[in-house]
Amino acid sequence: MSESIILSIETSCDETAASVIKNGNEIISNEVVTQMMTHKKFGGVVPEVASRQHVEVMTQVIDEALKNANMKIDDIDAIAVTEGPGLIGALLVGVASAKALAFSHQKPLIPVHHIGGHIYANHLVKPLQFPLIALIVSGGHTELIYMKDHLDFEIIGETRDDAVGEAYDKVARTIGLPYPGGPEVDRLAQIGQDTLNFPRVWLEKGSYDFSFSGLKSAVINTLHNKKQKNEEIIKEDVATSFQNSVVEVLVGKTMSAVKEYDVDHLIVAGGVAANKGLRDALELETNKLGIELSIPPLNLCTDNAAMIGSIAHFLYEKKRFSDMKLNGKNSLDL
Ligand code: KG4
Ligand code: ZN
């Protein structure tokens, strides 16, 4: 096992982040500047605005990560950066910065897959134990992944349309809540009642794929019909009915995968891992089976560079380096 001190950079969406990570599991520094307040005004992330804001703060965020780690660039073994998937203009800011640093200081450059990063956020809390199933739930992703070993990812299911966080944000907007609406829908769901009987979308028997756009349309149509009939819309009940449908399907498919693949470790990552309904249901089901559930703390669930530095340690061991031709990629296989 080689030792590593890695400077990592993440700019795939609306967080500008840099971190210094030792041996894949020790956070020496972890800086994040979020653009959430800017995008709130537009009701969602505006790609061009995101790119410009990354440019404005990138250098400072990297400097802070080194300063707070009490390190100079010469103390660093390699530079890691999110290569994709994500917003292309946003990714390019991180990739260009990483290339400049790697080239000028003659350090290896490690390209990282964003979803691989989300999974390794768990490794910063407790070493990953294999085999495992990972459920990734964020504003851009909904995936079930089976892992037999480090860096060995098998995607067994993914969304065919909206990501789960995206569905939350759209439903939130429909009932008049500000972006990002996920946390607020979650809060209302704790106090409402499941009165609206929204569909549970299971797709073909045995499939681990997801689909949330039909559920989103069902919510919009129900509200539209109620308005036309002048019926009262109880936001809390919409939230509970929607959340119950989402959680039942996410948890149902995840637990089927846990059983079929015979794993005793389930990990969850991405911004929607903060959802109380989802956490409670997964805790209950994993307890019943007697298997271990890991969910990182919230600051490691949402986009950050520490998770990029964690997986980069394992890529560093395998010398999975890139040359200066590295480019950002809006879509990229895991
Ligand atoms: O991982 P993340 O910070 O960014 C992406 O890479 O997408 O995830 C953000 C998403 C947003 O859609 C937000 O509404 C959702 O996570 N989210 C939640 C909750 N907290 C954040 N969704 C449901 N319940 C929550 N408590
Ligand atoms: Zn993410």
In this prediction, residue 323 has a pLDDT band, given cuts at 50, 70 and 90, of very high
Index of the ligand 1 atom closest to the CA of residue 180 = 14
pTM of the entire structure?
Answer: 0.94
Q: What is the mean pLDDT of the chain?
A: 95
Q: Which CATH number fits domain 128-295: 3.30.420.40, 3.40.710.10, 3.40.190.10, 3.30.565.10?
A: 3.30.420.40
What b/e sequence results for 5-38 when a residue is b if at least 16 CB atoms lie within 10 Å of its CB, and e otherwise? bbbbbbbbbbbbbbbbbbbbbebbbbbbbebeee
- Residue 35 pLDDT > 70, yes or no? yes
What b/e sequence results for 211-248 when a residue is b if at least 16 CB atoms lie within 10 Å of its CB, and e otherwise? bbeebbebbeebbeeeeeeeeeebbbbbbbbbbbbbbe
165 lines ligand 1 (CB under 6 A): yes
- Ligand 1 centroid distance, CA of 169 (Å): 8
pLDDT tens per residue, range 242-263? 999 999 999 999 999 999 999 9
**Ligand 1 atom 13 nearest Cα:** 182
pLDDT tens per residue, range 108-154? 999 999 999 999 999 999 999 999 999 999 998 999 999 999 999 99
Average pLDDT over every residue of 256-276:
96
- Ligand 2 centroid distance, CA of 21 (Å): 18
Say if residues 115 and 249 touch (Cβ distance below 8 Å). no
In this prediction, residue 51 has a pLDDT band, given cuts at 50, 70 and 90, of confident
Q: Do domains 5-120+301-317 and 128-295 have the same CATH topology?
A: yes
Ligand nearest to the CA of 117: 2
Give the SS3 label for residue 8: strand
Q: How many Cβ atoms are within 10 Å of 326's Cβ, its own excluded?
A: 18
- Ligand 1 mutation pick, 302, 307, 308, max ligand atoms within 8 A of CB: 302
- The proportion of the chain whose per-residue pLDDT surpasses 90, expressed as a percent, equals 89
| pLDDT, position 43 | 78
| pLDDT, position 143 | 97
- Residue 1 pLDDT > 70, yes or no? no
Give 225's contacts (C-beta < 8 A, 6+ positions apart). Answer: none
Index of the ligand 1 atom closest to the CA of residue 140 = 7
Average pLDDT over every residue of 3-25:
96
- Ligand 1 mutation pick, 168, 175, 275, 279, max ligand atoms within 8 A of CB: 168
Average pLDDT over every residue of 278-295:
97
pLDDT tens per residue, range 310-321? 999 999 999 999
Average pLDDT over every residue of 13-39:
92
25 is in an annotated binding site: no
Average pLDDT over every residue of 80-93:
96
Average pLDDT over every residue of 67-90:
97
123: DSSP letter: G
The CATH superfamily label for domain 5-120+301-317 reads ATPase, nucleotide binding domain (3.30.420.40)
| pLDDT, position 54 | 86
In this prediction, residue 2 has a pLDDT band, given cuts at 50, 70 and 90, of confident
137 is in an annotated binding site: yes
- Ligand 2 centroid distance, CA of 45 (Å): 13
240 lines ligand 1 (CB under 6 A): no
Helix axes 235-260, 213-228, angle to 10 degrees: 160
Strand runs labelled E in 165-277: 265-269
277 lines ligand 1 (CB under 6 A): no
192 lines ligand 1 (CB under 6 A): no
- Ligand 2 centroid distance, CA of 116 (Å): 10
Helix axes 182-189, 164-174, angle to 10 degrees: 70
- The proportion of the chain whose per-residue pLDDT surpasses 70, expressed as a percent, equals 100
Does the ipTM surpass 0.95?
yes
Say if residues 303 and 31 touch (Cβ distance below 8 Å). no
Give the SS3 label for residue 202: coil
Domains of the chain, by residue range, sit at 5-120+301-317, 128-295
Would you mind telling me the total number of residues written for the chain in this entry? 334
pLDDT tens per residue, range 68-77? 999 999 999 9
140 lines ligand 1 (CB under 6 A): yes
- Residue 41 pLDDT > 80, yes or no? no
